[in-house]
Structure formats: structure tokens, C-alpha cells
Structure 1
């Protein structure tokens, strides 16, 4: 059983590093890739939840993240990247993310997160500290434009969070922590 766990962890690390990789390119090319992802995600969010446009436009700032997540039996992990935009200064802060958790589940998914910061204090705290912790239960089966997923919209004080699955197949109930941090290479 120990060899099976070791193999599972090794596979998990390999898949996550491949899924979240930005690939090769210059600093500017990587920044542009993230900004393109941000624009595509916002377009999708505004189409699926039209009221969200006013929420984002009226906010002090927002963050958009792309995350690949794998859940193998009792362990869940994910990595990703994104950007926070300060609406007052129009400045972008490029960030990375990683998550880990425990719980029951199986599968892999590629999902997006949009965080809307309603106060400058909430946005500054996120960029400077970036740590969140919480539970997660979801089901997703999405490939291309076909499939279904259960996701939502959550409110955490001065932050509204929208999530949706881009692709994947997963059934999981986990308690996990997520760490966001400033990408020193891209800023």
C-alpha cells in the first residue's frame, strides 16, 4: 500500500506541474498569456452571470485565476496562475497559486476563479498575504462545450468569488487550503 501511495503522490506532482505550467516564453509573452486568459474568463463570466459585470466594474479591484486540480482518493492538490487588477491605478499584479487538501474524491479539473474585491483593504490584504482556507464539495464533468458542473458564487466579507469549471471530470469533498502569492518573475 505504501508503494501505491508513493506512486500516487509522484503522479500527482507530475500532472500538476504539467497542467499549471506557463510554458516557455519571455516575461512579456507570459504576461500577455495571463491577460488573455483574464479577458476570456471575464467574457465568459459576464455571459453566464450578466449581473457580475456591474459587480466587477464597481469594485476596487479583481483577480482572475486559472487552476488545474487533481484529486486522488484522499489527497487533493492544484496549481495555477493569474492576475489581480487594481481598478484605481489600472496596475496588474501577476500571481501564482497552489492548493492542497484532504478528503474523499477522484478526478481532475481545470477551473477558473474570479475574485472581486469591494474594498482597497481587502485587495491589499489578498495581494500581500494571499492565504485562504476552506472546504470544497463539487461535481464536474465537462469536456469542450459539453457537460455540466456544479459551482457558484460566494461572498466572504468584502470579496465576492465566482468559480466555474473549464474542463474535467471530478467528484470530491475536501477540506483544503489555497495559497496565492506574487510572482516575482512577472512583476
Structure 2
């Protein structure tokens, strides 16, 4: 019973921290920080995979998210923020994300996700409804430039998904549902 209460408390605390609005930042400052995260993350992804630049340029659009996640025994949760970019119109849609899942594992990690949308339908559906379900297995132990990680890359329909760990320690195998939604304060 105590373990269950600790798990519920940790997940609730994580979700509160991720979903709380920044009290001292303006919307313009938050957009600028998100845009900077996108540029830095894209540079890191392209450094790791040279083919991504042409995939992104040839796509209808793409999205980059920064996410922090926690996995405690059989429950996982996480949340973050990001930007979806329409390559045709240039429009940026600022978004939030939250995820929950079940599986086995333990750990906490900070990671970046890149989604490349091959069709207009897949991009529009993502921006408007934002659900994504999937299975994930990974192991990571990383702090700064030290350590290593093994993340999954995959495709869901007309969307290619890439993930890169920034920092953390985790070993997990989970089935997750992730909800993405427009940030009403930044759009």
C-alpha cells in the first residue's frame, strides 16, 4: 500500500511540475525558449543521423518535444512541451504533452522526441487531436556527455519518430499512451 501511495504521489508531482505555467515568463519568452529547444534538438538529431535533414526538409511538417519521464515499477508518466512546424506554411504550433503507461521498469529521464510527418493528413491530425499510442523499450544512463542510451526509432502510419536521451537513468519496457495538445497560452 505504501509503495502504491508513493507511486501516485510521484506521478502527481511530476504532472504538476510539467503542467504548471511559468509565473514569471511572458508568452513571448516561453515561445523563444521553445524555439531555441527546437533548434538545439534538431542540431543534435542531425549530428546523430545525417539522413534526418533531408527527411525533415522533404516532409509536410515535423515536431520536436522535450520530455521528462518517470517509471516506477509498473506505472510510467511524463510530460513536456514542444513545437509542431508546418514546412509548407511555416506556421508554428506550440504544444504540451503528457504520457502514461504500464510496464516494467524504474528510472527517470529527460529526452527529446522528433516526429517527421510524411502526409498533410498525419500532420493535421496530430496538431488537432494529438493522440499517439505505442510500445517502448529502452535503457539509458546518461549525464551530460557521459554515458549512453539505446532508444527506439519507429514509424506510426505516416509519422517517423526519433528519440534522444539528454540525461537520466532508466531501464524500461512499457506500453504508453501520449496526448499532445495545443498550448492555449502560446498560440
Q: TM-score range by the shorter chain?
A: over 0.9
Counterpart in 2 of 1:98? Answer: 98
Gaps spanning 5+ residues in structure 2: where?
A: none
Say whether 1:163 aligns with 2:163: yes
Aligned residue pairs: how many? 186
**Who is 2:40 aligned against?**
40
Deviations, residues 69-115 of structure 1 (Å, cap 9, x unaligned) = 00011110000100000111111000110000111110000011000
Contact kept, 8 Å, 1:84 with 1:92, in 2: the verdict is yes
CA distance 1:48–1:21, shift in 2 (3 Å): farther
Query: Which aligned pairs between 1:2-41 and structure 2 lie closer than 5 A?
Result: 2-18=1-17, 23=22, 24-41=24-41
Provide the TM-score with structure 1 as the length reference: 0.95
**Moved segments of 4+, more than 2 Å:** 15-24
Deviates further, 69-78 or 150-159: 150-159
Q: What are the superposed Cα offsets for residues 138-175 of structure 1, whole Å, 9 maximum, x if unpaired?
A: 10101010111001421222111111111000001111
What's 2:72 paired with? 72
CA RMSD of aligned residues (A): 1.4
Structure 2 CA distance for aligned equivalents of residues 144 and 169 of structure 1 = 12
User: 1:140 — aligned with what?
Assistant: 140
